[in-house]
């Protein structure tokens, strides 16, 4: 990992792997850039994959003060510029899809093509979209060590967890401090309801058919707001497709970006 300081005083940790057109990868809420460890090698023949840690994630260092989704979008734009690129393709998943939407709205000149995976519409929360799911996850997360496997079932299919039970340990407890968790936890509920009709980047929305966290119909509805957006539904995938089936997600992404 290397570091670069972007406007706002954030020292962003990032790694560039591969060669070709730059592709920025924006990770989910409970993750850092390592969620793409099996995904990146499938793309490096065609793209310079830029994996980075968001604020309060991984090795990135940020001021101890509140921030929002628009600040995270500005960080991503600052990273693209700091690395010497005029524009880059952008892939965002889950929370990363929200940041990617804000990036495309606020900084259209730096976004070449846009992929929103397991997408959540910016300005909407899980409590809005699936209130029963949000309530149950809130209950389970009160004791994550005990309920890690039950939490994991919202992110992966039952078959995949049966083959990879170790994935549940990611939900057994956070490596973030309570202050970091509080700042991260406020991001989605407080995100602004930005208009998506002004997004000019060619956009692909990926919905995961077995996503128990975000209903696929919600993700697909985002495409209705973005001019000429395309959609793909990936059968058999839960919320975290880049970990469950990175080769399938990569094949769709390569096809769209190429």
pLDDT in tens, 121-159: 999 999 999 999 999 999 999 999 999 999 999 999 999
Residue 200 lies in a domain: yes
Residue 252 lies in a domain: yes
pLDDT of residue 18: 96
Position 222 pLDDT exceeds 90: yes
Residue 16 lies in a domain: yes
Q: Band of the pLDDT at 174, cuts 50, 70, 90?
A: confident
**Which CATH number is 240's domain given?**
3.40.50.1820
Report d(CA 207, CA 118) in Å as an integer: 5
Residue 21 lies in a domain: yes
Q: Which two three-digit tokens encode residue 141?
A: 């997360």
* Residue 34 per-residue DSSP state: G
Residue 167 lies in a domain: no
Where does the chain show beta strands of DSSP type E? Answer: 2-6, 10-17, 21-26, 47-52, 88-93, 111-117, 203-208, 230-234
Q: Band of the pLDDT at 95, cuts 50, 70, 90?
A: very high
The per-residue pLDDT for range 183-219, each reduced to its tens digit, is 999 999 999 999 999 999 999 999 999 999 999 999 9
Residue 159 lies in a domain: no
pLDDT of residue 7: 94
Report d(CA 197, CA 186) in Å as an integer: 25
**For the residues 167-171, what does the mean pLDDT come to?**
94
What is the number of structural domains in the chain?
1
pLDDT of residue 116: 98
Report d(CA 126, CA 120) in Å as an integer: 8
pLDDT of residue 175: 87
Q: Band of the pLDDT at 238, cuts 50, 70, 90?
A: very high
Domain that holds residue 96: 2-126+179-257
Whole-Å CA distances, 226 to 24, 42, 135? 20, 28, 30
Determine if residue 195 is left, alpha or beta; phi over 0 gives left, psi from -120 to 50 gives alpha, anything else beta. beta
Residue 151 lies in a domain: no
Percent of the chain with pLDDT over 70: 100
Listed in sequence order, the residues at least 6 apart from 59 whose beta carbon sits closer than 8 Å to its beta carbon are 1, 3, 13, 53
């Amino acid at each position: 990992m290397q570091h670069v300081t972007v406007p706002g005083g954030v020292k962003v940790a990032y790694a560039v792997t591969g060669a070709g057109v730059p592709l920025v990868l924006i990770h989910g809420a409970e993750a850092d850039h390592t969620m793409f460890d099996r995904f990146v090698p499938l793309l490096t023949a065609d793209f310079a994959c830029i994996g980075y840690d968001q604020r309060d994630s991984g090795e990135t260092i940020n001021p101890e003060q509140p921030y929002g989704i628009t600040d995270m979008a500005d960080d991503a734009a600052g990273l693209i510029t700091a690395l010497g690129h005029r524009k880059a393709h952008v892939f965002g998943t889950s929370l990363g899809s929200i940041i990617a939407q804000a990036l495309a709205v606020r900084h259209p000149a730096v976004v070449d093509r846009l992929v929103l995976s397991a997408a959540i519409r910016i300005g909407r929360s899980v409590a809005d979209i699936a209130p029963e799911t949000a309530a149950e996850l809130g209950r389970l997360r009160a004791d994550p060590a005990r309920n890690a496997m039950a939490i994991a079932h919202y992110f992966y299919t039952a078959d995949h967890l049966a083959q990879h039970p170790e994935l549940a340990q990611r939900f057994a407890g956070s490596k973030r401090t309570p202050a970091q968790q509080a700042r991260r936890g406020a991001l989605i509920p407080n995100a602004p309801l930005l208009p998506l009709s002004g997004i000019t980047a060619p956009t692909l929305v990926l919905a995961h058919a077995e996503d128990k966290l975000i209903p696929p119909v919600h993700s697909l509805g985002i495409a209705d707001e973005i001019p000429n957006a395309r959609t793909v539904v990936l059968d058999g995938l839960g919320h975290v497709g880049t970990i469950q089936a990175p080769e399938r997600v990569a094949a769709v992404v390569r096809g769209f970006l190429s």
